Structure 1
Amino acid sequence: MTKLTVCVDGRLRDSAQTGVASYGHALREALATVGHPSWLLDDATVGRFGVPSTRVEAIRRRCRAVLPMPVRLRIDGERRALHASDIFRLAQVRFLATGRMLELHAPGKPAIMHWTYPIPARIAGWTNLYTVHDVIPLATPHLTPIDPEALRARIACVAATADRLVAVSPWARRAIVDAFDFPDAFVVDCGSSVSRMLPGDGRLPAGLTAGSYFLYCGLLEARKNIDCMVEAWRRSGSILPLVVAGPADPKEAAMRHALRERGVIVLPYQSRPALIDLMAGACALVLVSLEEGFGLPVVEAMALGTPVLTADRGALAETAGDAAMRVDPTNVEAVAMGFRRLGEDPALRRSLAEAGLRHAARFTPAAFGARLTGFYAGLAR
């Protein structure tokens, strides 16, 4: 175990439907790119994200949750993994039942454990780092379905024993510090990166041709400003269709139906390679959210040479820099003008595509890996 220096939780290792999952993939890819491959912490529930436990599993977990017993991890050298039968769901149940963290014990020398989310668990004796992607529910609870008090309690619990919290953008870092009155040095912005950018077969869904549609990809939460985006597209008079692609969340079925009624092309779930093809073929990616922690689709589109229409404030403005068309996300006419200009001005699209490619170099796995390893090295001093 002497070579084990960084371990990353694999709670969403087999998922591609959340920003946290994308971050976990990016984290491990970045470390591998700079010659610092990580180990993986996982359990038997990996690959079952969103799948309910059986009745027997739930009862057994509730019984274990109230007992102050640590979980002992096993080494799987072939997979470079630390493993136990139940970590992630047990940690949540214990926290809800007792307000306490789940303590894990690992064999070998202490190392760094980088949790990709504020999971209420820690490896005893190790350096435990927790990425907090945003605190949007605390400042603007009407924009997200996440319970703000539950999130506040979880972050406070984790922070009480964490060595550092990790943010994904300067905007998110400032919001976290302000929300909890943490010392500045306790929350560190390491950014993020593009990951898994391999394209598919290049075939677009029926009716779409490259360069002839606008694309939004993501959830349909209130913070994504979907109504404004759709109304702006309609007012723009653009002949190019607006395409919406994202996770097939059953809770969003009514919203997806309403979008189709307004003329939007709503696609079923797309595999990661198919989504990359959609991004690469779009006239422009549109992301005019009211709040984001980072805004990963902006950077992904730029890395593919696709122009971006985004918000002129918050994390999106930071992430996009001067390489995107930025508009007031609360002003429908401003967003409509963005649609018109991008749809009608090939020279503008070429200019933004070139600027985006240059800007995306800041968010490569190598750049992210360098920031991470520099951060880890600083902790060891």
Structure 2
Amino acid sequence: MPTKVFVDGLNLALPYGTGIASYAHSLLKSTQEIGYKTGVIYGRNVGNSDNPALREILFFCEESSPPRIKKIFSTINKIVSQYKKNKLIPYKIPNNNFIDKKNLRYLTDNLDYIYNYPNIFNFSKTYYKSSSKFLNIEIEDKPEIMHWTHLIPIRSVGSINFYTIHDLVPFTHPYADRSDKVMNWQIIRQIIENGDHILTVSEASRQDILRLFKAPENQVTNLYQAVGFEDALKNRPEHLVERDLNGLFGLEYGHYFLFYGSIEPKKNVKRLIEAYMAADCPGYPLVIVSGRSWSAEQDHALIEQLKDRDLPGKKKIIQLDYMPRSQLVSLIKGARALVFPSIAEGFGLPVAEAMSLGTPVISSTHPAIQEIAGEAALLVDPYDVDALAEAISAIAEDDNLVKTLRQRGPLQAEQFSMENYKNRLKDFYQEFGFSI
């Protein structure tokens, strides 16, 4: 009987994904390629049915938000039920092979099993606040290995439970994160005391966990994060990328700077814009691909004030919404450079993605990014606007520097390829007695 490896679907359910969603997708793809069976537990707020065909149909419906009063009573009932039974049982979503799922691949890729329990992740935090206990769940197709890719206070009964802590930004930069610091601190303490193992995505994050939480050295493993693009996207010919850029965005290949990611305090977008305005890069627009996040009013106000205007020095700021992965890859490949001056990261996925595609990178001296970028990027103090402006000017003016970074980037990013990640994961599983 093949070993089953399950992953939580907290971020996998997001259509445009996040860095953690990319992490979870890579985890599923790698475990399936190693030879394990894979599954996901979702928390989609959709209906259920005893009829297997209807249950699958309802799962793929658009999520709904119940009225507040109904939600409160539902939560109370679930808490009471959890106290009585000491477990919740997610329901299995069958595959009846009659739903067209081509637009829903983000929910189904690399999966052998799908389970769902509405709002289970929010409920687990409510339950934790009321009880200081992790929510126990029992899965019909019990996985030997259960990966929790976020700080989720849930435990799969009868499984080895691995918890990924991507970074300690909520504690090292508390002003740049709006999470519940007290609850997260307590969850991490319980993971250290009762979880089977902790995974993380950089040696910098691992050292933070060991230092701040005094975790045992052998209880925290850094497997890094995988960076992978479909071959068709990664190897897309330059002339087709150029056609995409011109036709979709009105951009010239190799003649703009790019930032992509959420606009939140740690991403440092306001200083990025200030540095761009001060840099000597006439005719190079700054393209910002993002969705609205939280507590970044100054950043958003500055973007709204400046975007789509003809600015001094033949400059322009262009803001684009999140887009399909194929379009984003074209934007990355066609950029003069990615500029990603984040003040704190656990891994810095955009840095590794851009390097893997041969796009020069300007980023920050934050320890995790230094670790990921190595000598293949220009790294500056993220608080130093002048230094960031000088780096942007250097990339705009120096073709030899651009050529050098284009050569170094893919070599550095190879450390984080899907194949290397899969080998690290395989070795890690073997330490716990699992092998193919």
Partner of 2:101: none
**1:48/1:58 CA distance change after superposition, 3 Å:** farther
Q: In the alignment, which residue of structure 1 is the partner of 2:299?
A: 255
**Residues 31-83 of structure 1: per-residue CA shift (max 9 Å, x gap):** 23444452222344388999744432442123212442211245557562252
Please state whether the residue corresponding to 1:38 is helix, strand or coil: strand
Q: Which residue of 1 aligns with 2:185?
A: 152
SS at match of 1:12: coil
User: Structure 1 residue aligned with 2:288, among 244, 260, 271?
Assistant: 244
Which one of 346, 356, 378 corresponds to residue 325 of structure 1? 378
* Distance verdict in 2 for CA 1:314–1:287, change over 3 Å: same
Seen in structure 2, the aligned counterparts of structure 1 residues 247 and 166 have a Cα distance that, compared at 3 Å, is same
C-alpha spacing 1:311/1:113, structure 2 compared with 1 (3 Å): same
User: Shift of residue 309 of structure 1?
Assistant: 0.6
Q: Which residue of 2 aligns with 1:61?
A: 75
Aligned CA distance change for structure 1 residues 316 and 50 (closer, same or farther; 3 Å): farther
Using the TM superposition, name which of 193-202 and 170-179 deviates more: 193-202
Number of the residue aligned with 1:141: 174
Aligned match of 2:334: 281
Q: 4-13 or 230-239: which moved more? A: 4-13
Q: In structure 1, what residue type is equivalent to 2:28?
A: R
Distance in structure 2 (CA, Å) of the matches to 1:89 and 1:142:
23
Aligned-partner Cα distance in 1 for 2:64–2:338: 32
Identify the residue that residue 23 of structure 2 maps to in structure 1. 23
Which ranges of structure 1 fall in alignment gaps of 5 or more residues? none
* Mapped contact 2:176–2:266 kept (Cα < 8 A): yes
1:162 to 195, 205, 219: 195
Equivalent positions of 1:220-369 (< 5 A) are 220-239=263-282, 240-249=284-293, 255-262=299-306, 263-369=316-422
Are the equivalent residues in 2 in contact too, given 1:293–1:315 (CA < 8 A)? yes
1:71 corresponds in structure 2 to 88
Report the CA distance shift for 1:51/1:21 in structure 2 as closer, same or farther (over 3 A).
farther
For the residues of structure 1 that align with 2:62 and 2:274, how far apart are their CA atoms?
34
Secondary structure of the residue aligned to 1:160 is: helix
Select the structure of larger CA radius of gyration.
2
Cα contact 1:169–1:189 (8 A) shared by 2 = yes
In 1: Cα distance, 2:61 partner to 2:267 partner: 27
Q: Which amino acid aligns with 1:32?
A: Q
Residues 288 and 309 in structure 1, CA contact (< 8 A), matched pair in contact too: yes
The CA distance in 1 between the partners of 2:40 and 2:331, in whole Å, is 31
Gaps of 5+ in 2: 46-58, 96-110, 307-315
Using the alignment, how far apart are the partners of 2:191 and 2:302 within structure 1?
Answer: 40
Percent pairwise identity: 29
One-letter amino acid matched to 1:225: N
1:3 is aligned to 2:17: no
Tell me which stretches of 4 or more aligned residues in structure 1 moved more than 6 Å: 46-51
Q: Tell whether the 8 Å contact from 1:103 to 1:121 is kept in structure 2 after alignment.
A: yes
Tell me the TM-score normalized by structure 2. Answer: 0.80
TM-score w.r.t. the length of structure 1 is: 0.91
Query: Take 2:364 and 2:202, find their aligned partners in 1: how far apart are those partners?
Result: 15
Contact 1:8/1:39 (CA < 8 Å) preserved in 2? yes
Q: Does 1:209 align with 2:209?
A: no
- How many residue pairs get aligned? The number is 380
Q: Is the 8 A contact 1:13 1:47 kept in 2?
A: no
Which range is displaced more, 231-240 or 248-257?
A: 248-257
Further displaced range: 121-130 or 53-62:
53-62
Counterpart code for 2:138: H
Match of 1:123 in 2: 156
**Which SS does the other structure have where 1:11 is aligned?**
coil
Contact 1:215 1:286 in 2 (8 A): yes
- Contact 1:12–1:47 (CA<8 Å) still a contact in 2? no
Query: What CA distance in whole angstroms lies between the structure 2 residues aligned with 1:144 and 1:186?
Result: 26
**Which 10-residue stretch deviates more, 364-373 or 66-75?**
66-75
Moved more, 68-77 or 292-301: 68-77
Bigger mean CA offset, 284-293 vs 60-69: 60-69
Alpha-carbon separation, structure 2, partners of 1:109 and 1:232:
52
Counterpart in 2 of 1:81?
113
Q: What is the rounded CA distance, in whole Å, between the counterparts of 1:8 and 1:28 in structure 2?
A: 7
Q: Helix, strand or coil: the match of 2:194?
A: coil
> C-alpha distance in 2, partners of 1:50/1:196?
29
Letter in 1 for 2:425: L
Q: What does residue 39 of structure 2 align with?
A: 39
Moved more, 210-219 or 195-204: 195-204
Whether contact under 8 Å (1:62, 1:93) holds in the other structure is: no
- Report deviation, 1:237: 2.1
Q: Distance in 2 between matches of 1:101 and 1:132?
A: 16
CA distance in 1: counterparts of 2:60 and 2:409, whole angstroms? 34
The 2-side partners of 1:160 and 1:47 are apart by: 38
44-53 or 109-118: which moved more?
Answer: 44-53
Report matched runs for 1:177-192 at 5 Å. 177-192=210-225
Distance 1:5 1:315, change over 3 A: same
1-side partners of 2:254 and 2:159: how far apart? 50
Change (3 A) 1:108 1:306: closer
Moved more, 325-334 or 44-53: 44-53
Distance 1:259 1:167 in 2: 34
With CA pairs under 8 Å and 6+ residues apart, which has the higher RCO, 1 or 2?
1
